[in-house]
Every structure is written in C-alpha cells, then in structure tokens.
Amino acid sequence: MQDINRPERVTCRVSQAPIEGFIYGCARKMHSRRGVQVLNDEELEEIRRRKMQILMERAQAPKVSEPMANGRVNELTDANFWETLSKTKLAIVDFYGVWCSPCKTLAPMFAELAKDYEGKIFFARIDIDRNRRTTVQFGVQSVPIIIAFKDGKPIGKLPGLRPYAEYDRVLEQMVGKGSDESSYV
C-alpha cells in the first residue's frame, strides 16, 4: 500500500491524460480511504452481476395487474360485496342459485377462467338467495348472470349460460387483448 500523503503522478485510464494529486490506492486491490473500506473491481462486478440477475428475474415474472386476482372464485356476501369490489380494478361476479342447474354447469367453467386470468381479473360469486340486498341492487331476476366491474363500477352484464369461448372473448376485451374493445357484452 502506498503512502496517502505523498502526491503521485498517474494517467487517467479513460483519457490517458496525466493526473497529479493524492492517489488513495489502486482500485484493483482492496484498500482503505481515510478509514473507510473501498470495494475492489471484482467485488463491484459481482454486485452488478447479482443485481442484473435480480432485475432479469423480475422482468420475466408475470405482471400482476389485479392484486386480488388469486386464480380462484371467491365467495361474496352482502356484507363484503362493495368493500371487496372497491379494491379491485377488474372483476367478474357470478350471481347464482344453489338450486340452479345452469349455474352448476357454469361453476367449473368459471373456476377454469379464474385460473386462466390469475393476476388479471378478480373472480367472485354471490348466492342470490342468501344475499337479497345485493341481488336487488342489480335487478337480478334470472340466474346465472355474470356482471363485469371496472374500478368497482358495473360495466356490463352477461345473462344466461354461454359457451366458454364467449366468456373468454369478453375477458380478453376487459384486459385489453381483444380485437373489438367496443363492448364487453
């Protein structure tokens, strides 16, 4: 290690211009500058490499546009309906009855759609017999009926049982991938 009080004449690595002044040690070796440890080039390169690896992993991870979209169909009630939907960006709610045969047919399709749109759209269902207040608010007279929400506000209804592809098309429009974004129904 060199004496830090002795001026030394060196050349700049980039411009090759001579530099005169106090040189605190070569950057290629671990050294101390006024009692503070300074990292060498190899350590800095390792830190840069690890940071770049973390950034690349984050970039490759799927982007979550809807934090509440957990890939499952969540059960809602009158008590938590508006509180839950106010926290979502995009949501789909299935109004169903336990006695309804088309609702039972829709349930596995709806669960599959929830898995397909995990992280993008919040999926929920609400029993019309146990949650009359919410059912009346939306004027639900027949089931199944799917209501789409954006930023906690209803934007469209899909009454009746429909094929999987039709629900998928509507959901793609909601997330902005569909060819026709003029209507959600």
Tell me what pLDDT residue 21 has: 46
**One domain for residues 127 and 159:** yes
Query: Across all residues in the chain, what is the average pLDDT?
Result: 80
Asked whether residue 54 falls in the same domain as residue 119, the answer is no
The pTM score is: 0.63
Give the residue numbers marked as catalytic: 100, 103
Residue range of the domain that includes 91: 73-175
**pLDDT at 179 exceeding the cut of 70:** no
Dihedral sign, Cα of residue 123, residue 127, residue 133, residue 136: positive
- In this prediction, residues 50-56 reach a mean pLDDT of 87
96 located within any domain: yes
Q: What is the pLDDT of residue 27?
A: 44
CB 175 within 8 A of CB 117: yes
Flag whether 165 is in a domain.
yes
